[in-house]
Amino acid sequence: MRFLVSWLMCFAFIGRYLLYRIGLGLRPHVDPYVPWATDAIGPLLNVPRRYFLQGQENVPYGRPMIVCGNHSKLDDPLMIYHAGRLATGGKLLLRVMTRIDYFTGFIFENRLVAIVDFFACCGAYSIDRDNVSLSQLKPFLKLLENGEGFIIFPGRTRTRSGVFIEYRDQFTEPGGISFFVHQTQRKRPEVPVAALPVVRTHNPVTKRTSMIIGPPLYLDAAASREALRTFDYDLVIGMSGLVELNLAQAASAALYLWCLHRGNAPLRIADLSHAVRTALAETAHPYVNPEDLADPDRALDQVLRWLARCRCISIDGGTIRPNPRIILGTPPLDTTYKKLNPVKYLANQILHLGEVTAIVEREVLAIG
C-alpha cells in the first residue's frame, strides 16, 4: 500500500510542477516529497535487493558537507543520495550539482517542461562546466554557509571505459572541491566543511551496487593555494581506494592478461579459478565482495556465462577459448564501450589497484 501511495505522491509533485509551468500554481519543491520518492524509486533501482552500503558511521550529519562521488552510471546521483538517507535514518537532505547543458532540445525546453528548472525544484543546481560563472557557484556556497550539503563528482564527467577517473573532453585534473571548502571556511572558520567520499562500484554481471562511504576530509582554514591543489588530489586518491573488488573484475583482468600473452590459446577454467581465488584471498585491499568470497565457484560460473553471451569467450566443457578481437580491442570512449569490450571495462575498474593486478598477473603468467 505504501508503495502505491508513494507513486501517487510522486505524480502529485509532477502535477504541481505542470500547474506551476502554466501559471496555475506555486513553484513546488521536492523536500516534502523525498520520503515518498525514496520508497517509489528505490525498487526500480534494485534497492535494497542489490544495494549494499558500508561506512554509514562516517557521515558527519549536522555539519556542512560536500559529498564527493565517482561517476560510473547515469543514476549515480540517486544512488548517492539514497546512501546519505540510509546512513542518517532518512534525515539527510542533499542538493546535487548538475550540468546545465546536459539536456537540450525542444523535448526538454517547452511550454510545460524546462528541465533545468524542474531539476532545481528537485533540489539540483546547474552549472555550465565549460563556462562556469560565479553566479552559478553562489548557491553551493550558500548551502555550506547554512550548514547543508550537496553532491558533486570531482571527476567532472561519467566514465565510459570503467576507469575510476576518466579525464577527457579537455579535462586534465579533478574538480576543485577545495574551492568550496576554502571559500566557506574563510567566512566561517569555526565550522569546518567536510569533504565526504562516497564510491559506487557497479557489477554489470550481478547488477550489484556497492556504496562505500569513507572518512571525511577536512581542510585547514588558512590553507595555501598549493595545499588546496594537494587536497583535491588527495581526495580523489582516497576515493579510489573505496572501490569494492569483485570476482568479475579479477576474472576479466586475468582473461585480458591471458589474451595479451597467449592470444586465443585455450585456458582451463580450473586455472582461471585458481588465479582469481588467489587474488581475492591474498589482497590487502579492504573491500572485497563478501558474496564472491563465500562462493567463488558460483560467482565465476556466472561471470563466464555472461562473458560468453557477450561473445568475449566460448566455453567447451572445462576450457575457455578467448576472443582476442573483442578482449584486446579498444572501443571508442562513448556509451558503447562497455557493450563492445566488457572484459576491458571490468578490468579497468581495478586498474588503479596495483597490488591486486600484480597478483593476477603473477598467477596468469604461472599457468603452464
Per DSSP, the residues of 204-221 read: TTTTEEEEEEPPPB---T
Question: Is residue 24 assigned to a domain?
Answer: no
Instruction: Please tell me the predicted confidence (pLDDT) of residue 144.
Output: 92
Q: Are residues 289 and 202 in the same domain?
A: no
Q: Please report which confidence band the pLDDT of residue 107 belongs to, taking 50, 70 and 90 as the band edges.
A: low
Instruction: Please tell me the predicted confidence (pLDDT) of residue 55.
Output: 95
Q: Are residues 137 and 232 in the same domain?
A: yes
Highest mean pLDDT among 9-13, 77-81, 156-160, 319-323: 319-323
Instruction: Please tell me the predicted confidence (pLDDT) of residue 256.
Output: 97
Q: Which of 201, 225, 240 is the last residue of a domain?
A: 240
Q: Please report which confidence band the pLDDT of residue 105 belongs to, taking 50, 70 and 90 as the band edges.
A: low
Q: Please report which confidence band the pLDDT of residue 103 belongs to, taking 50, 70 and 90 as the band edges.
A: low
Question: Is residue 42 assigned to a domain?
Answer: no
Instruction: Please tell me the predicted confidence (pLDDT) of residue 359.
Output: 96
Bridge pairing between strands 124-127 and 267-268 = unpaired
Closest CA to 216 of 188, 233, 239: 239
Q: Are residues 207 and 235 in the same domain?
A: yes
Instruction: Please tell me the predicted confidence (pLDDT) of residue 40.
Output: 75
Q: Please report which confidence band the pLDDT of residue 224 belongs to, taking 50, 70 and 90 as the band edges.
A: confident
The separation between the first and the last C-alpha atoms of the chain, rounded to the nearest angstrom, is 60
Question: Is residue 324 assigned to a domain?
Answer: yes
Q: What is the pLDDT of residues 234-280, one digit of tens each?
A: 999 999 999 999 999 999 999 999 999 999 999 999 999 999 999 99
Rounded CA-CA distance 368/366 in Å is 6
Q: Residues 193, 219: contact at Cβ < 8 Å?
A: yes
- Tell me which residue has cell 524509486: 41
Rounded CA-CA distance 126/353 in Å is 33
Q: Are residues 160 and 203 in the same domain?
A: yes
Q: What is the mean pLDDT of residues 110-121?
A: 77
Q: Are residues 288 and 335 in the same domain?
A: yes
Q: Model-level pTM?
A: 0.90
User: What is the span of the domain harbouring residue 251?
Assistant: 247-365
Rounded CA-CA distance 253/346 in Å is 8
Question: Is residue 10 assigned to a domain?
Answer: no
Q: Please report which confidence band the pLDDT of residue 128 belongs to, taking 50, 70 and 90 as the band edges.
A: confident
Q: Are residues 321 and 213 in the same domain?
A: no
- Number of domains observed in the structure of the chain: 2
Average pLDDT, whole number, for the chain?
88
Containing 67, the helix (H) or strand (E) segment is strand 65-69
Q: Are residues 119 and 77 in the same domain?
A: yes
Instruction: Please tell me the predicted confidence (pLDDT) of residue 104.
Output: 66
Q: Are residues 83 and 216 in the same domain?
A: yes
Q: Are residues 337 and 189 in the same domain?
A: no
Q: Please report which confidence band the pLDDT of residue 218 belongs to, taking 50, 70 and 90 as the band edges.
A: very high
Instruction: Please tell me the predicted confidence (pLDDT) of residue 261.
Output: 93
Q: What is the mean pLDDT of residues 82-102?
A: 85
- pLDDT at 121 exceeding the cut of 60: yes
Question: Is residue 13 assigned to a domain?
Answer: no
Q: Are residues 101 and 218 in the same domain?
A: yes
Instruction: Please tell me the predicted confidence (pLDDT) of residue 351.
Output: 94
Q: What is the pLDDT of residues 13-62, one digit of tens each?
A: 888 888 888 888 888 888 887 887 877 777 777 776 788 999 999 999 98
Q: Please report which confidence band the pLDDT of residue 203 belongs to, taking 50, 70 and 90 as the band edges.
A: very high
C-alpha cell at 36: 515518498
Q: Are residues 166 and 297 in the same domain?
A: no
Question: Is residue 6 assigned to a domain?
Answer: no
Q: Which of 240, 257, 284 is the last residue of a domain?
A: 240
Q: Are residues 315 and 222 in the same domain?
A: no
Question: Is residue 328 assigned to a domain?
Answer: yes
Describe the strand order of the beta sheet including 149-152 as a list of residue ranges.
51-54, 208-213, 194-203, 65-69, 149-152, 95-99, 124-127
Instruction: Please tell me the predicted confidence (pLDDT) of residue 60.
Output: 93
Q: What is the pLDDT of residues 157-179, one digit of tens each?
A: 889 999 998 876 666 556 689 88
- pLDDT at 106 exceeding the cut of 60: no
Q: Which of 240, 260, 294 is the last residue of a domain?
A: 240
Question: Is residue 113 assigned to a domain?
Answer: yes
Q: Please report which confidence band the pLDDT of residue 291 belongs to, taking 50, 70 and 90 as the band edges.
A: very high
- pLDDT at 110 exceeding the cut of 80: no
Instruction: Please tell me the predicted confidence (pLDDT) of residue 319.
Output: 94
User: Peptide bond preceding 192: is omega within 30 degrees of 0, i.e. cis?
Assistant: no
